[in-house]
Amino acid sequence: MQIEAIDMAGGARRDHAKLVVEGLSKTFGTGPEAVLALAPLDITLERGDFLCVVGPSGCGKTTLLNVVAGFERPTSGRALLDGRPITGPGAERGVVFQQGALFNWMTVLENVAFGPRSCGVPAAKARESARRLLALVGLEAFASKYPYQLSGGMQQRVGIARALANEPEILLMDEPFAALDQQTRELLQEEIRGIWRRTGSTVLWITHSIEEALFLATHIVVMSARPGRVKAAFRSHFSADPDPLVAATPAFSAAKRQILALLRAESQRAQHLESQA
Ligand SMILES: Nc1ncnc2c1ncn2[C@@H]1O[C@H](COP(=O)(O)OP(=O)(O)OP(=O)(O)O)[C@@H](O)[C@H]1O
Ligand SMILES: [Mg+2]
């Protein structure tokens, strides 16, 4: 049994929680135009957990990430980091956005070095670690280019390097690999897994790919159609499997089928909802 259903709200896990999302809901707008994006939802992550969130388009995944990042305030409930309510952005949280959010007036190297520089790291040291991170994402040759000179996938890789540069305790990634080709994606998945194992950081990772979730995650949440709730949550053991071809095993396929069935039902509901909007 490589995945097992769990209660993501926490139970005993709350005692060691890195991140607690508690009764969190979010409504955009007011009156008849109001959109309930997230229904009250509870998630607990322990230090070192790697949570992948999958769910139909428009179910509130980015909204959830934005609240944890501190860019959006919840309508009800709260998000706590190390027991303290999140009220705004912080350097201990590294964010990779769904759409690249690089500084267009800075070179690639300056973009990656920006975070550490603003935290007081000396220029030479910040640039050196930025170069190392750019090498990691295969972009050392593009250090002096500007974001507009890069493809969408390359910009996304700069975004990943920039998020890692602050050595964040918690990484918040919104479909970071969506724009990448299959080969780059697989290489970076292995890199991310390595970085996560070495650093012991906590990760909240949104993806549309069930394979990616099974390959990377210690925990998987399937969200319902809008308003997003936790429809199902699983503990997954594939990410601990040393076999790089684990995705080709029958157990992996069985787990994929199980999650796909849940996701399909919600995607159909979401489509129905959107057609009525
Ligand atoms: N700033 C906003 N103002 C009004 N409505 C918003 C805003 N941001 C998101 N929404 C609405 O909230 C809902 C959830 O959006 P969100 O971007 O969180 O979905 P998502 O799960 O990330 O979707 P996708 O998989 O397509 O990225 C959608 O119905 C969207 O239209
Ligand atoms: Mg989104």
Atom of ligand 1 nearest to the CA of 38: 14
pLDDT, average across residues 18-30: 95
Residues 158, 226 within the same domain: no
Tokens of 245: 């071809």
pLDDT, average across residues 39-61: 95
Q: How many domains would you assign to the chain?
A: 2
Q: Name the residue with higher pLDDT: 130 or 185.
A: 130
Read off the pLDDT of residues 105-128 as tens digits, 9 standing for 90 and up. 999 999 999 989 988 999 999 999
Q: Which domain holds residue 12?
A: 3-92+170-276
Q: What is the mean pLDDT of the chain?
A: 91
Q: Ligand 2: distance of its center to the CA of 266 in Å? A: 16
Under 8 Å between Cβ of 2 and 252: yes
> What pLDDT score was predicted for residue 1?
56
Instruction: State which of 167, 196, 219 marks the end of a domain.
Output: 167
Residue 63: C-alpha distances to residues 34, 37, 82, 103, 204 (Å): 15, 7, 21, 22, 13
Residue 86 has pLDDT above 80, yes or no: yes
pLDDT, average across residues 126-143: 92
149 lines ligand 1 (CB under 6 A): no
Percent of the chain scoring above 70 in pLDDT: 99
Residues 120, 205 within the same domain: no
Residue 190 has pLDDT above 60, yes or no: yes
Residues 157, 192 within the same domain: no
> What pLDDT score was predicted for residue 20?
95
Residues 81, 191 within the same domain: yes
Residues 88, 218 within the same domain: yes
Q: Ligand 1: distance of its center to the CA of 118 in Å? A: 30
Atom of ligand 1 nearest to the CA of 60: 18
Residues 177, 147 within the same domain: no
**Helix and strand numbers, DSSP H then E, in the chain:** 7, 11
Residue 51 has pLDDT above 70, yes or no: yes
> What pLDDT score was predicted for residue 269?
86
Instruction: State which of 143, 167, 191 marks the end of a domain.
Output: 167
Taking CA atoms only, the protein residue closest to ligand 1 atom 16 is 60
Read off the pLDDT of residues 226-268 as tens digits, 9 standing for 90 and up. 999 999 999 999 988 888 788 899 999 999 999 999 999 999 9
Residues 65, 186 within the same domain: yes
Residues 86, 9 within the same domain: yes
For 103, how many CA atoms within 13 A lie in the half-sphere containing its CB? 12
> What pLDDT score was predicted for residue 184?
82
CATH number of the domain that residue 270 is part of: 3.40.50.300
Taking CA atoms only, the protein residue closest to ligand 1 atom 14 is 60
* pLDDT-derived band at 42, boundaries 50, 70, 90: very high
pLDDT, average across residues 201-225: 95
Backbone Cα Rg of the chain = 19
Instruction: State which of 122, 138, 167 marks the end of a domain.
Output: 167
Residues 174, 163 within the same domain: no
Under 8 Å between Cβ of 54 and 220: yes
Residue 188 has pLDDT above 90, yes or no: no
Under 8 Å between Cβ of 86 and 67: yes
Under 8 Å between Cβ of 229 and 197: no
Q: Ligand 2: distance of its center to the CA of 207 in Å? A: 9
198: Cβ contacts below 8 Å, ≥ 6 apart = none
Cα separation, 63 vs 198, whole angstroms: 29
Percent of the chain scoring above 90 in pLDDT: 64
> What pLDDT score was predicted for residue 152?
83
Residues 202, 134 within the same domain: no
Residues 105, 44 within the same domain: no
Q: Ligand 2: distance of its center to the CA of 17 in Å? A: 25
> What pLDDT score was predicted for residue 179?
79
Taking the mean position of all CA atoms in its chain, how far away is CA 95?
8
35 lines ligand 1 (CB under 6 A): yes
28 lines ligand 1 (CB under 6 A): yes
